[in-house]
């Protein structure tokens, strides 16, 4: 896994892929991710470019650098996750601070203020926590693509970008998440059903 200059390299848990923002933008521009619908590529590119511009020469921007009104059409699909510290086993503690309307609808409830363990919408709790932990440790963007059955047994394809914020320039304090779910036609065998 590569990160921004000076960011540590860590093993990719559960197939998580992390890139320096510049590398991700290059992949988006070079067509590497062009099998995605144009709207998804445009949204991810918009958010990564915005995040990268706000960080400047720092490893990560701070939360105060991010103005949600700069990306209004992305708000329904955004999550803001607080990193509240570290557990005794060294893993991060993650809590939902802001949950966009589409993300609330996907879950069937509003997890704002809850720990990720209490409100995740992922292939599994382990998978959700692994992604947040990868961002916390690597201090770089993480892009993920997964196919799953939702709680109504509908096949869904999801593309997600996770972007770190830091208040001190070193420690990840919050994670900005954008997810887009696309219904799929036909049968497939996902690894698990999401809750």
Taking only the tens place, the pLDDT of each residue in 14-66 is 334 445 555 665 655 544 444 555 566 788 888 988 998 898 888 899 999 99
* Residues in the chain with pLDDT values less than 70: 1-40, 150-151, 183-195
Question: What pLDDT, on the 0 to 100 scale, is given for residue 20?
Answer: 53
Q: How many CA atoms lie within 13 A of 188 on its CB side?
A: 17
| β-sheet with 92-99: strand ranges across | 17-18, 142-149, 155-165, 174-183, 78-86, 92-99
The domains located in the chain, with CATH, are: 13-183 (3.30.450.20)
Tell me the pTM: 0.78
């Amino acid at each position: 896994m590569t990160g921004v200059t000076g960011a540590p390299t860590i093993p990719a848990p559960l197939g998580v892929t992390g890139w320096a923002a510049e590398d991700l933008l290059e992949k988006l521009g070079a067509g590497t991710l062009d099998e995605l619908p144009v709207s998804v590529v445009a949204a991810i590119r918009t958010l990564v470019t915005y995040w990268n511009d706000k960080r400047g020469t720092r490893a990560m921007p701070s939360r105060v650098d991010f103005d949600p009104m700069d990306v209004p059409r992305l708000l329904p699909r955004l999550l803001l996750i607080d990193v509240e510290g570290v557990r005794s086993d060294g893993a991060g503690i993650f809590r939902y601070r802001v949950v966009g309307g589409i993300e609330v609808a996907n879950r069937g409830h509003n997890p704002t203020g809850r720990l990720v363990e209490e409100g995740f919408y992922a292939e599994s709790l382990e998978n959700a926590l692994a992604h947040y932990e990868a961002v916390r440790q690597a201090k770089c963007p993480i892009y993920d693509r997964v196919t799953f059955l939702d709680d109504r047994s509908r096949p869904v394809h999801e593309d997600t970008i996770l972007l770190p914020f830091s208040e001190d320039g070193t420690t990840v304090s919050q994670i900005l998440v954008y997810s887009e779910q696309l219904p799929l036609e036909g049968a497939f065998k996902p690894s698990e059903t999401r809750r």
